[in-house]
Amino acid sequence: MEPLDRAFLANVLDLMLDAVCVVDTEGRFVFVSAAGERIFGYPPEEMIGRPVIGFVHPDDRERTLVAVAEIVAYQHKPIFENRYVRKDGRVVHIMWSARWSPLDGVRVAVARDVTARKRAEAMQAALYAISEAAHAAEDLLALFAQIHRIIDGLLPAKNFFVALYDAAGDWLSFPYFVDQDRAPLEPGTLDAETLCTELIRGGKERLVSHDAVDPAQPVRTPVDWLGVPLGVAHGVIGALLVKSHSPEVRYGQADVELLKFVSAQIADAIERKQGQLRLQHVAQHDALTDLPNRNLVRDRVAMALARARRDGTGLALMYLDLDDFKPVNDRFGHAVGDGLLQQVAQRLKHCVRASDTVGRMAGDEFVVLLAQLHAPEDAALVAEKIRAALCEPFDVAGNAVLVSPSIGLVGYPKDGEEADPLIDRADEAMYRAKRAGGNRVCVAGDTDEARA
């Protein structure tokens, strides 16, 4: 057989789909076969003479240098994977097999582009992670934060937001919004000519590069927008958007496909979580006033007690019943009675902080929990404020309605250490207030009743 000539061998090397690279002791390319251009995006002459490490993704440089030291020490390394940044800015995943030749003072390595495999693996992992997040997340915000992390692992998504669209009320909101440059968008109807509106109305993904935003205006900061609608069986429930402010981060068709691919799973996860939260809300709240119901009140009291115990603070609990509520129903009808209970709920909420709990225990019975009370005497002041507030006339559907409350007041640690006994003591104190004629606050353990 004829010895193979050099030109033929060089041609064979250039025909290989994998790139053959030769690197000198200084870590510079001395040879890159033709496939290098397809994989790295640079013609071989733009790579030869330059340090290899400069082409490596910054996050992978350190472990790449460790691998190089191993190749030199052990003279070969059959599998090593790292990422390179192509000339067009895209990231490629490379699988290397390398051998060090001490005689020639070079290492010879073969690079295989495994980006497609990596992408497929990452997408599968992302789908799984999204479905896990839907189960694990406590609420929608936690789910969105988790989705942000998952997407950021697939494509550059530092600036990311979720838009949700309520078709019944024609209301677009932005419950999750992370942008290095601007404040969250205001919620509103779908009237505005925005990318979000386009995504939700059109139901199709959109990639807007800065050149396309306004070709007449030189834009100082290049911006790429990439958005996908969140589609479910019955329509579009919102959109996901990622945005780049940097010329180094540009989105391409591969990113569009990635975001589109995960968006169906995300839409499904959001819808499931919303359904779950709705059911949970119904189970824990009173349908008429939307206040926490007896079960949730008990949980809140138990949680507040645990925190007070840990922080060494106090808390106060009021049990409240309206005096002569029945005659309101009898005189004005049930609908007015309902309206009154709703207004009482609102007044009670106005009397306390957002961190306190107002709950409805039954009929005309309410509970107010003042958590993290630093001065026990504050509770009596709040109870008196509530009593006075409820004595002000109500206007229910044009009817002037007058009621007053009987209030039982207890405190931790003075009157009990556990939720149920504390609630029972407050209820007992409330009955004493009622027996004494109503429209007053009774403190647990006291026989003296403070008349208003």
Ligand X SMILES: Nc1nc2c(ncn2[C@@H]2O[C@H](COP(=O)(O)OP(=O)(O)OP(=O)(O)O)[C@@H](O)[C@H]2O)c(=O)[nH]1
Residues that bind ligand X (CB under 6 A): 288, 321-326, 329, 334, 337-338, 341, 363-364, 434
Q: Which residue is nearest to ligand X (CB)?
A: 337
Q: How far apart are CA 110 and CA 76, in angstroms?
A: 12
Kindly state the tokens that stand for 7.
């030109």
Which residue's CB is nearer to ligand X, number 364 or number 415?
Answer: 364
Smallest distance, ligand X to C-beta of residue 378, A: 27
Cα–Cα separations (whole angstroms), residue 318 to 16, 234, 314, 368: 81, 46, 14, 5
Q: How far apart are CA 16 and CA 297, in angstroms?
A: 71
List Cβ neighbours of 333 (8 Å cut-off, separation of 6 or more).
Answer: none
Go through the chain and tell me how many residues it has.
452
For 398, the 3-state DSSP assignment is coil
Smallest distance, ligand X to C-beta of residue 323, A: 4
Smallest distance, ligand X to C-beta of residue 321, A: 5
Contact 159, 178 (CB under 8 A): yes
Sign of CA dihedral 8, 14, 20, 23: positive
Q: How far apart are CA 309 and CA 48, in angstroms?
A: 69
Give residue 11's region: left, alpha or beta (phi > 0; psi -120 to 50).
alpha
Which residue's CB is nearer to ligand X, number 57 or number 432?
Answer: 432
Which residue's CB is nearer to ligand X, number 204 or number 326?
Answer: 326
Smallest distance, ligand X to C-beta of residue 420, A: 21
Which residue's CB is nearer to ligand X, number 243 or number 360?
Answer: 360
Whose CA is closest to 359, among 345, 378, 373? 345
DSSP conformation letters of 393-444: -EEETTEEE--EEEEEEEEETTT-SSHHHHHHHHHHHHHHHHHTTSSEEEET
List Cβ neighbours of 201 (8 Å cut-off, separation of 6 or more).
Answer: 190
Partner residues linked to 164 by β-bridges: 173, 238
Contact 201, 190 (CB under 8 A): yes
Smallest distance, ligand X to C-beta of residue 290, A: 13
Which residue's CB is nearer to ligand X, number 136 or number 288?
Answer: 288
For residue 122, the number of C-alpha atoms closer than 13 Å in the C-beta half-sphere is 18
Whose CA is closest to 111, among 80, 85, 140? 80
Smallest distance, ligand X to C-beta of residue 437, A: 10
Which residue's CB is nearer to ligand X, number 278 or number 334?
Answer: 334
How many helices (DSSP H) and strands (DSSP E) are in the chain? 14, 18
Smallest distance, ligand X to C-beta of residue 300, A: 21
Which residue's CB is nearer to ligand X, number 163 or number 345?
Answer: 345
Which residue's CB is nearer to ligand X, number 213 or number 283?
Answer: 283
Smallest distance, ligand X to C-beta of residue 411, A: 24
Which residue's CB is nearer to ligand X, number 320 or number 373?
Answer: 320
Smallest distance, ligand X to C-beta of residue 335, A: 8
What letter represents residue 320's amino acid?
Answer: L
User: How far from each other are the two terminal CA atoms of the chain, in whole angstroms?
Assistant: 116
Give residue 261's region: left, alpha or beta (phi > 0; psi -120 to 50).
alpha
Smallest distance, ligand X to C-beta of residue 287, A: 9
DSSP conformation letters of 48-90: TTSBGGGGB-GGGHHHHHHHHHHHHHHSEEEEEEEEEE-TTS-
Which residue's CB is nearer to ligand X, number 199 or number 341?
Answer: 341
Smallest distance, ligand X to C-beta of residue 328, A: 8
Q: How far apart are CA 23 and CA 50, in angstroms?
A: 10
Smallest distance, ligand X to C-beta of residue 288, A: 5
Which residue's CB is nearer to ligand X, number 161 or number 325?
Answer: 325
Which residue's CB is nearer to ligand X, number 60 or number 365?
Answer: 365
